[in-house]
């Protein structure tokens, strides 16, 4: 019998300073990159650190760089990304590495808060539900961006985040854009201010890496373009900013 | 609520860079069309100067073009310096302003030389 083919997997070990460690993992049909990491952690080296939860592309916790490209690993088939017998796994870029494949995502989530990513309404529980037409342009613009799972693949893929660490990044700005289009929200002025300027939407070069890499096929680039237009309109009309 | 001045300035700079880019596309196309037209039957300095000397309209056209280029170039260089160097925001702004001023002076001087200087 022919021995099962194996995959040579290089995994980043350590934090900011570290090295790649090589493991041989048997290939299986329909194997995902997350399956590979889990195999290594369970069979070869239990000290390997990585994150996952749902395994079905909902939670956004298993993202890492696979052969240099940020991906959600639970829905990434090895056959799709490893053309040869080699696979190189690294933690996401643009965030501090805690250990191995786990990064500290605090700044990523803090920036969603800085971009006023929270909904704030006026009506209470007892009041009737706001009627928003599903066909309205604002509702459709919000719809286009609300399926974000917070995996930070876009944040890791964004060159501007790498160059300007204070840049809010695609996910936070995309989130803000969905709320700018939420007519029930009452902190629109503050939000436009929070997303304008050099740490905000105006630092974006519209290169589109976020849109190219988003596993949910969202278009943060379009959301950011919307924010740019809206903030300039606000400036020209004398509103904040 | 009064927006912070730095934010307003950043939005304005972004706006002017985009606006100058849009305007420049028209200038670039006109300039290219002029080159294609002027190339017919050879190209000599005398022929060019004959067209531009004393022509206030071409002077105005290229004068505005130079202003747009200086503005657009300075704003763009500022962003590149901010992203690619370790200079602070104030130093980047000063460097970009200096380069913009050089472009403006050299450009306007050239426009002056081929248009109104010989009038």
CATH assignment of the domain containing A85: 3.10.20.30
The pLDDT value recorded for residue A145 is 96
pLDDT at B9 over 70: yes
- The complex's ipTM? 0.82
pLDDT of residue A83: 82
Q: Partners of A89 in the beta sheet?
A: A11, A66
CA angle, corner B23, sides to B18 and B28, nearest 5?
Answer: 120
**In terms of domains, do A110 and A98 share one?**
no
Q: How far, rounded to the nearest angstrom, does the alpha carbon of residue B4 sit from its chain's CA centroid?
A: 29
B90 has pLDDT over 70: yes
Write out residues in chain A with pLDDT < 70, as ranges.
Answer: 1-4, 239-241
Above 60 in pLDDT, residue B119? no
How many residues belong to chain A?
241
Helices (H) and strands (E) in chain A, counts: 10, 7
- As a whole number, mean pLDDT of residues B77-96 equals 94
Give the pLDDT band (50/70/90) at residue B46: confident
With beta carbons less than 8 A apart as the criterion, state whether A26 and A4 touch: yes
Asked if the Cβ–Cβ distance from A197 to B11 is below 8 Å, we say yes
The predicted pLDDT at position B1 comes to: 55
Looking at residue A237, its pLDDT comes to: 82
**pLDDT at position B118, please?**
58
pLDDT confidence band for B47 (50 / 70 / 90): confident
* pLDDT bucket at B3, cuts 50 / 70 / 90: confident
Nearest CA to CA, how far is B112 from chain A (Å)?
Answer: 35
pLDDT given at position A52: 97
Per-residue pLDDT at B100 exceeds 70: yes
| Cα atoms found within 13 Å of the Cα of residue A53, Cβ hemisphere only | 6
The answer to whether residue A1 is domain-embedded is no
What would the pLDDT profile of B68-85 be if each residue is shown by its tens digit? 999 999 999 999 999 999
Residues of B with CB under 8 A from a CB of A: 1-4, 6-8, 10-15, 79, 82-84, 89
Give every CB contact of residue A198 below 8 A, 6+ residues apart in sequence: A164, A166, B6, B10, B82, B89
Residue A177 in domain:
yes
Higher pLDDT, B45 or B81: B81
Closest residue in A to B4 (Cα) is A241
Pick from A86, A103, A120: which residue ends a domain? Answer: A103
What's the predicted TM-score (pTM) here?
A: 0.90
Q: Dihedral (C-alpha) A86, A91, A93, A96: value to the nearest 10 degrees?
A: -150
From chain B, the residues in CB contact with A228 under 8 A are 14
The band of B23, judged by pLDDT with boundaries at 50, 70 and 90, is: very high
A163 lies in the same domain as A196: yes
Residue A198: give the domain boundaries: 106-236
Task: Give the angle subtended at the CA of A51 by the CAs of A48 and A53, to the nearest 5°.
Answer: 135
**Shared domain check, A113 and A98:** no
Share of chain B above pLDDT 70, in %: 97
pLDDT value of residue B42: 77
- Give the model confidence (pLDDT) of A27-86 as tens digits: 999 999 999 999 999 999 999 999 999 999 999 999 999 999 999 999 999 999 988 889
Kindly tell me the sign of the dihedral angle through the C-alpha atoms of A23, A25, A30, A35. Answer: negative
Interface of A with B (CB under 8 A): 160, 163-164, 189-190, 193, 196-198, 202-203, 228, 231-232, 235, 240-241
Last residue of a domain, one of A103, A134, A156: A103
Closest Cα in chain B, distance from residue A119 (Å)? 20
Domain membership flag for residue A241: no
CATH assignment of the domain containing A172: 1.10.1060.10
State the pLDDT at residue A50.
98
């Amino acid at each position: 019998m022919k021995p099962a083919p194996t995959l040579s997997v290089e995994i980043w070990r350590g934090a900011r300073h570290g090295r790649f460690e090589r493991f041989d993992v048997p290939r299986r049909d329909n194997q995902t990159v997350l399956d590979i990491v889990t195999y290594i952690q369970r069979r070869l080296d239990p000290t390997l650190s990585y994150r996952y939860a749902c395994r079905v592309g909902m939670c956004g916790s298993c993202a890492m760089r696979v052969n240099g490209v940020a991906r959600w690993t639970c829905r990434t088939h090895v056959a799709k990304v490893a053309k040869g017998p080699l696979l190189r796994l690294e933690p996401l870029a643009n965030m501090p590495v805690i250990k191995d494949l786990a990064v500290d995502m605090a700044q990523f989530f803090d920036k969603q808060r800085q971009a006023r990513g929270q909904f704030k309404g006026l009506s209470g529980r007892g009041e009737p539900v706001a009627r928003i037409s599903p066909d309205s342009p604002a509702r459709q613009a919000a719809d286009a961006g609300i399926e974000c799972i917070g995996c930070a693949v876009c944040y890791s893929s964004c060159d501007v985040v790498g160059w300007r660490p204070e840049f809010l990044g695609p996910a936070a700005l995309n989130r803000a854009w969905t709320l700018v289009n939420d007519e029930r929200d009452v902190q629109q002025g503050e939000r436009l201010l929070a997303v304008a300027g050099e740490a905000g939407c105006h630092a974006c070069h519209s290169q589109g890496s976020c849109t190219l890499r988003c596993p949910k096929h969202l278009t943060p680039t379009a959301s950011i373009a919307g924010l740019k237009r809206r903030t300039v309109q606000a400036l020209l009309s004398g509103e904040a900013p | 609520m009064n927006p912070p001045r730095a934010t307003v300035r950043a939005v304005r700079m972004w706006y002017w860079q985009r606006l100058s880019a849009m305007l420049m596309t028209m200038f670039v196309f006109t300039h290219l069309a002029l080159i294609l037209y002027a190339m017919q039957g050879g190209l000599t300095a005398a022929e060019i100067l004959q067209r531009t000397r004393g022509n206030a309209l071409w002077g105005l056209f290229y004068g505005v073009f130079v202003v747009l280029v200086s503005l657009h170039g300075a704003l763009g260089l500022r962003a590149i310096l901010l992203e690619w160097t370790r200079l602070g925001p104030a130093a980047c702004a000063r460097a970009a302003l200096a380069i913009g001023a050089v472009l403006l002076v050299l450009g306007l001087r050239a426009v002056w030389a081929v248009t109104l200087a010989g009038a």
